[in-house]
Chain A
């Protein structure tokens, strides 16, 4: 198992339903053994990517390669992939072990062997006691694990998961995230996980592929996407962010200035050569996270601006302040997140504050 070799490659894959295009020229490589999450709002084409790989839909153009071999026209039942469906798609007339063993029994594997592997798979998903139940007698989380066991028993090269946690409540969803990740590590199989929930994506993925309107916007580690978004969409979609529009200024080593309604701001452009190359005066956004923003003190030489706290919201471990900053005709709404304290916040609603963020904690995205 080598995480650096590509298992599956999509080359300029397009898909249209009738005359409606849903995927435009997608290029994507899935590495062997990784947990790749495809993240996007509804209608971004993320489920279509999964269905094309699984063979549930034909490609309109382009090709899909597995170990370098074109499998674009391989029928669904011959592809070494298995899917965990959003509605689980458990067979209602079969028991849990009937469901889990289905993939083996259609391949005419001996009964004894099937029984052994079913027991093993059920043990793995901690459902050993439920082998003789019917799907209707299981809870949502249990059904989900049956669907997972059914997919992994065939030892596929790739497991495709189509928003499998969407129907579960929050607590169960968190448990299942941890569980899925641990199973993935244990069986060392590549997972392609589709979701619209960025918290889910951050929590589980080795890499995240952000999709919007049938395009891949960015592919990278959760850390990359969070701290080095390459476009406005990713910067806004992935986590809370403050975006302030402006015109690019001069490059100063790993930093670059931008003229905004809040004055001149300086942000990091490290390992983002396209920002270094962009012309001066080009439209861009300064982006900084609510947790990077703080009350200014004497040490802060850059990125100073003042504002008024318009709202304070206690959110458990942290408190979020909404701040109106900048001149009246170009007022910006910013969010500031500080750890909550038992003796109340140092911030007061309606108070005028001086704010700052460290240049290396801000970044730039081109408009």
Chain B
């Protein structure tokens, strides 16, 4: 294949760069400005400082919200990984009923969160379940289950069927085959799914606002802070969350994309 003409390459590169800058530069503004003081609603570029981070660390409400978020995230991850994996195992290889189940699992993920949140709210009220962190965890699990289920199912489907056959063939029981062959081969998909589930739970705002009791998670707290006005420690918070999310995504990618192992040939 011959190289494309030079002019069009430059043109394409320019367009790509422009789109990337337009789309993603807003993400970097809070990071950069979190290192400067803000006075009278505009950033003072002359004095770099960490004062916004200090202010954030002294904000008791934020720290409580952060702890709540972590508790909700961990519970959601445990619940969704266990149930998502079980569902994937149960429906792998079964034709009947699978598409219906998949539809139900994906519905809350694809529906507008406000609809899912309202549906859950009405449901909790009908069965008389008090709004609390428990309802938040249930709401988040319903929302992220699709991701875990899909991730584990994809791995199951890419696993060679002969691995399980070979295990039986070598004398293993069904239980041994599950613990020693199936589960270890699913583990990285489960970890990847867990990280994605945690990231989604960490961000989730709409459903949380609707089903939470008196406690707020970090995004909900952030939302409340925004309504009261633009305070400088929000920049620091956004910067931290952004970095944390990037880290999580990088981790998830590491677990979900198969490792490249150099094949040695002798």
Enumerate chain A interface residues (CB-CB to B < 8 A).
54-56, 75-78, 81-83, 85-87, 89, 91-93, 102-103, 106-107, 134, 136-139, 142, 150-151, 154
Check if B264 sits within 8 Å of A83, measured CB to CB. no
A82-B170 contact in complex given A87-B160, A89-B165, A91-B163, C-beta closer than 8 Å: yes
Task: Please indicate the chain A residues that have their CB under 8 angstroms from the CB of B172 in the complex.
Answer: 77, 102, 106
Q: Which chain B residues (173-231) contact chain A, with CB distance < 8 Å?
A: 173, 176, 180-181, 184-185
Check if B262 sits within 8 Å of A77, measured CB to CB. no
Pairs A-B, 7 closest by C-beta atoms: A103-B170, A89-B162, A89-B166, A136-B261, A106-B172, A139-B265, A93-B184
Tell me the nearest residue of chain B to A79, going by C-beta.
Answer: B169
Among the interface residues B160, B171, B173, B261, which one has the most CB atoms of the partner chain A within 10 A?
Answer: B171
Task: Please indicate the chain A residues that have their CB under 8 angstroms from the CB of B160 in the complex.
Answer: 87, 89
Q: How many A-B residue pairs have CB under 8 A?
A: 73
Check if A142 sits within 8 Å of B266, measured CB to CB. yes
Task: Please indicate the chain A residues that have their CB under 8 angstroms from the CB of B264 in the complex.
Answer: 137-139
Q: How far is the CB of A246 from chain B (nearest CB, A)?
A: 48
Task: Please indicate the chain B residues that have their CB under 8 angstroms from the CB of A151 in the complex.
Answer: 170
B42 in contact (CB, < 8 A): no
Enumerate chain B interface residues (CB-CB to A < 8 A).
160, 162-163, 165-173, 176, 180-181, 184-185, 261-266
Check if A76 sits within 8 Å of B176, measured CB to CB. no
* Alpha-carbon distance A233/B111, docked complex (angstroms): 62
Q: How far is the CB of A180 from chain B (nearest CB, A)?
A: 18
* Alpha-carbon distance A364/B120, docked complex (angstroms): 81
Check if B263 sits within 8 Å of A106, measured CB to CB. no
Supply 14 further A-B pairs (C-beta < 8 A) apart from A83-B165, A86-B162.
A54-B169, A55-B169, A77-B168, A82-B169, A85-B162, A85-B166, A87-B162, A89-B160, A91-B167, A91-B181, A102-B167, A102-B172, A137-B262, A150-B170
Check if B170 sits within 8 Å of A102, measured CB to CB. yes
A106-B171 contact in complex given A137-B261, A137-B263, C-beta closer than 8 Å: yes
Task: Please indicate the chain B residues that have their CB under 8 angstroms from the CB of A107 in the complex.
Answer: 171
* Alpha-carbon distance A82/B170, docked complex (angstroms): 6
- Partner pick for A76 among B168, B261, B265, CB 8 A cutoff: B168
Check if B266 sits within 8 Å of A139, measured CB to CB. yes
Q: How far is the CB of B107 from chain A (nearest CB, A)?
A: 34
- Partner pick for A92 among B168, B171, B185, B263, CB 8 A cutoff: B185
- Partner pick for A77 among B169, B181, B185, B266, CB 8 A cutoff: B169
Check if B261 sits within 8 Å of A77, measured CB to CB. no
Q: How far is the CB of A109 from chain B (nearest CB, A)?
A: 11
Check if B180 sits within 8 Å of A56, measured CB to CB. no
A154-B165 contact in complex given A87-B160, A137-B264, A139-B263, C-beta closer than 8 Å: no
Check if B165 sits within 8 Å of A77, measured CB to CB. no
Task: Please indicate the chain A residues that have their CB under 8 angstroms from the CB of B165 in the complex.
Answer: 56, 76, 83, 85, 89
Among the interface residues A86, A87, A92, which one has the most CB atoms of the partner chain B within 10 A?
Answer: A92
* Alpha-carbon distance A85/B163, docked complex (angstroms): 9
Tell me the nearest residue of chain B to A86, going by C-beta.
Answer: B162
Q: How far is the CB of A228 from chain B (nearest CB, A)?
A: 36
Tell me the nearest residue of chain B to A78, going by C-beta.
Answer: B171
Q: How far is the CB of B146 from chain A (nearest CB, A)?
A: 27
* Alpha-carbon distance A106/B177, docked complex (angstroms): 9
Task: Please indicate the chain B residues that have their CB under 8 angstroms from the CB of A138 in the complex.
Answer: 263-264
Q: How far is the CB of A178 from chain B (nearest CB, A)?
A: 18
Tell me the nearest residue of chain B to A150, going by C-beta.
Answer: B170
Tell me the nearest residue of chain A to B170, going by C-beta.
Answer: A103
Check if B163 sits within 8 Å of A89, measured CB to CB. yes
Tell me the nearest residue of chain A to B181, going by C-beta.
Answer: A91
Task: Please indicate the chain A residues that have their CB under 8 angstroms from the CB of B167 in the complex.
Answer: 91, 102, 106
Q: How far is the CB of A1 from chain B (nearest CB, A)?
A: 23
